Amino acid sequence: MIQSILLVALGGAAGSVARFLVVTAAGRMMPGWPLGTLVVNVVGSLAIGVAYVLLAQRAAIAPLVVAGFLGGFTTFSAFSLDAMKLWEGGQAMQAGAYVAASVILSLAAVALGAALARSITA
């Protein structure tokens, strides 16, 4: 278990740095629009799809790559993988509900969090 935690931490650090670099570079290319976040989410989702298939037989390295690097790079990839697994498992309604609930509840949560913080600092 300790080894897995260390792998996740190492991968997470690398993924976070990679995200920072991508977002920073994209912000210079298109200021005022979250191009970097879009790129990170799409690339991360592509990468987790590849990792999901290729690392299925390599459980020892999966924590480094999936939970670690990709988790640090973008949690959106995990969301996308979970939705895909529901869809592929024949649970189309659950996949749709999961996607809708995740987006709606996350937007509501960020608005609530910002409102709470503003009320505290006002």
The pLDDT tens digits for 71-107 are 999 989 989 999 999 999 999 999 999 999 999 999 9
Res 59: pLDDT? 79
Q: What dihedral angle (degrees, nearest 10) is formed by the CA atoms of 84, 85, 91, 96?
A: -30
| 61 in Cβ contact with 55 (< 8 Å) | yes
Residue with tokens 């895909």: 84
Mean pLDDT calculated for residue range 35-54: 93
Do the annotations mark residue 121 as ligand-binding?
Answer: no
- pTM: predicted TM-score of the whole model, two decimal places: 0.81
Instruction: Say if residue 12 carries a ligand binding annotation.
Output: no
CA 29 to each of CA 23, 33, 75, 114: distance values in angstroms, whole numbers, following the listed order: 10, 10, 23, 28
pLDDT, residue 86, reads 97
Q: Could you state, in order of their start, the residue ranges of all structural domains in the chain?
A: 2-74
pLDDT at position 28 over 90: yes
